[in-house]
Amino acid sequence: MKILLTGAAGFIGMHVCQRLLSRGDKIIGIDNLNDYYDVSLKEARLAKLSQHPNFNFACIDIANRIDVAKIFEQQRPECVVNLAAQAGVRYSLTNPHAYVDSNLIGFVNILEGCRYAKVKHLVYASSSSVYGGNTKVPFSEVDSVDQPVSLYAATKKANELMAHSYSHLYNIPATGLRFFTVYGPWGRPDMAYFGFTQAILEGRPIDVFNHGQLQRDFTYIDDIVEGVVRVLDKPASLGLGVAHNIFNIGNHEPIALLDFIETLEKVLDRKAIKNFLPMQSGEMQSTHADTSKLEEWVGFSPNTSLQLGVEKFVTWYHSTYKRNNQGAG
């Protein structure tokens, strides 16, 4: 299968590419390699992917309508996996236009490409952030998501509405995936677990928001990839109304932030210096995924334990940043 995958140099994008390439798919990867975080990490991910003969890369910003239209016209992908987005809740407080450009304008450009190329399936990244101010747990796909508490969440809700309308208007099978706090090797440095690891190894304090009274449904990257690939292979049928599905992909076992930090301390064999702070604007107090709909559709639900996932991340971190950690005491 020929697949256009956006955000190929990203954390989830790289892992999904690897999985699809390993089974024989041809991947056209695109990414704008922006400097939201360390570009060298994105380049290192691309270097791994570029070793595969079925991977081709183009440096494209999905907000550029002309470039996106050209890549669809030239490549004519059968399916699209849209993982490109401006990520991060806190950054949306200081740079809202980046979210409009990538998550709204960019997503419309992808939808238009899918429309004219008549793709067989569009799979796109949504987020657990859409549940916003919801208090009912676990979060279910049938719950109302009309109370976003960040611009990032609002753009992801908008993506779901846009995809639904294009699916209805142009018979494009589409699936939105609400990811829950993804972590693991090759992860994003702006994520809390990554920053915690750096700080603990260097003996610096870590900022713990809401005085530690937070819960997250931490989901290991391999489980995310498994869910993405299984869903990609099973689009909604056009004969059953609008061919648009939405699924949660989370570990359905929320972990208290302080318990996560304790697990990280044990794996690193070092204690964290905690700097307790108030709740930050735009953050959710708790996330908890109901994954029964995903399991019913593709026969899979994430199941990697926190202990195993943290161990794998720390092993990767040491191997990647060992030169920086030699003097940490």
The catalytic residue positions are 152
Is residue 281 within 8 Å of residue 93, measured between CB atoms? yes
100: closest CA among 154, 146, 137, 148? 154
42: closest CA among 181, 219, 187, 152? 187
For 126, list phi and psi in degrees, rounded to 5.
Answer: -105, -155
Quickly count: other Cβ atoms within 10 Å of residue 161's Cβ.
Answer: 11
Round the CA-based radius of gyration of the chain to a whole number and report it: 19
25: closest CA among 53, 45, 58? 53
Q: Give every CB contact of residue 108 below 8 A, 6+ residues apart in sequence.
A: 162
Q: How far apart are CA 203 and CA 226, in angstroms?
A: 36
Q: Give every CB contact of residue 309 below 8 A, 6+ residues apart in sequence.
A: 183, 184, 218, 220
Is residue 31 within 8 Å of residue 25, measured between CB atoms? no
Q: Give every CB contact of residue 47 below 8 A, 6+ residues apart in sequence.
A: none
- Give the residue carrying structure tokens 């991977």: 55
Residue type, 143: D
Q: What is the DSSP string of 239-293?
A: TSSS-EEEEEES-S--EEHHHHHHHHHHHHTS--EEEE-PPPTT--SB--B--HH
Q: Give every CB contact of residue 239 below 8 A, 6+ residues apart in sequence.
A: none
